[in-house]
Amino acid sequence: MDAILHASRLGGTACVPPSKSAAHRAVLCAALAGGTSRIENIEYSDDIRATLGAVCQLGAQVQQEKHAVVIKGLGSDGFPTVTRPVFCNESGSTLRFLIPVFSLTAQKIRFTGAGRLMDRPQEVYRMLFNRQGLRFEQSSEGITVFGRLRPGGLTLPGDVSSQFISGLLFAAPLLESETTIEVLPPYESRSYVDLTIAAMQRFGVKVTQRAKKNGGVIYRIPAPQRYLPCDMAVEGDYSQAAFLAVLGVLLGGISVSGLDPASRQGDRVILDILKGCGGKIANVNGALRFSRSLMKAGDIDLADCPDLGPVLISLGCLCGGTTTIRNAGRLRIKESDRIASMQQELAKMGGRVQVDGDTLTMTGGALHAPAEPLSGHNDHRIVMALTVAALAAGVPATIRGAEAVRKSWPDFFTVMRSLGANIDLVESE
């Protein structure tokens, strides 16, 4: 699908979608609980559908409603026989959360996916499985595991995806005895692990943590424990709100509702980043209003908020001065190489993105209409970040592969239109 963007005047209020990060965690906890849980404020993105399909193979029963899902967890009934591959689509969270959990079945399990998912690094699990004498095989076609993880003391590097830590945390309460997980410094993306622990605690599981003087953290998970059913609503997503927020400070007059001001989401830092660059943000009747601001260059650290990378690259190309983004290396191993993707596409609009290792610099200036279509690189955040860049610059552009937004925010273009964006969606030739 092509998204054809026209110069538009934007304004109004939009409600952000539910947090994909929080929804993944709630669905998995509910699937492991004994009893029935109701999770409100669900959006059926491709990633969430992947997790729902996977937990059904774990033995959970799932009833989908329009904006809610009812899940009867497997509880103490035990795991069923898994007879077919677990398809994770392009969802790194689904895959990495569920590898340790499915290992508890002690069955030979094969995971498959789409896009670049099976090429994304899994070395943390490979080393752990090998250390315990378990099978772990990975190729571009899939991942096969065989053998049940054992409790005990685990040590993980902190500069890898937090999804590995979360996956082990989800499985640990269901083991035979206590497990400790020590995360070594530097500990990046810790806020995502905090989200995992908050979800587990909401579903009745005890996890304690102790910070070490060197910056590491030790988690202690008593076992065996049971997940308990819970009714809850998923909070709004700060990572998706970032696209609206950046548009707001560049164009003005955009309000965003549905966000929890006390959220533990690491991407909540978008508010601090925008304020640091001169963004005007006010709380008006429970919504955040982003007013047009004279945006200046900033120095941004992505270590704890990598999902904000693409839209912040767009922002840097439209701020006055030279913006620096540090610790951006993890962007290379997402649905696309997000550094190369943004550099390539923004260059078509006159954007200047320079790369030095894991540090990016953007020299702000006016963007022009691209002479050729932009590519979404099969990456939802690239499509949305390019949409923000074109609309904020007030230039027409065509984005190929715009359907990628279904991965995380199926209604993205509907929301953009509700704010006044003139966007045509047509099938690609």
Cα–Cα distance measured from residue 202 to residue 231, given in angstroms and rounded to the nearest whole number: 10
Of 295, 350, 355, 348, which Cα lies nearest the Cα of 325?
Answer: 355
Cα–Cα distance measured from residue 231 to residue 247, given in angstroms and rounded to the nearest whole number: 34
Strand arrangement of the beta sheet that strand 153-157 belongs to: 153-157, 179-184, 217-221, 208-211
Q: Check 307, 337, 411, 424 and give the catalytic one.
A: 307
Cα–Cα distance measured from residue 103 to residue 134, given in angstroms and rounded to the nearest whole number: 9
Cα–Cα distance measured from residue 200 to residue 151, given in angstroms and rounded to the nearest whole number: 18
Assigned token pair, 21:
């990060």
- Residues 101/28, Cβ–Cβ less than 8 Å: yes
Cα–Cα distance measured from residue 184 to residue 314, given in angstroms and rounded to the nearest whole number: 33
Q: Which residue has the tokens 């509702």?
A: 257
- Residues 29/101, Cβ–Cβ less than 8 Å: no
Cα–Cα distance measured from residue 326 to residue 267, given in angstroms and rounded to the nearest whole number: 16
Q: Is 307 a catalytic residue?
A: yes
- List, in sequence order, the alpha helices (H) in 336-379: 338-347
Helix (H, G, I), strand (E, B) or coil at 211: strand
The residues annotated with a catalytic role in the active site are 307
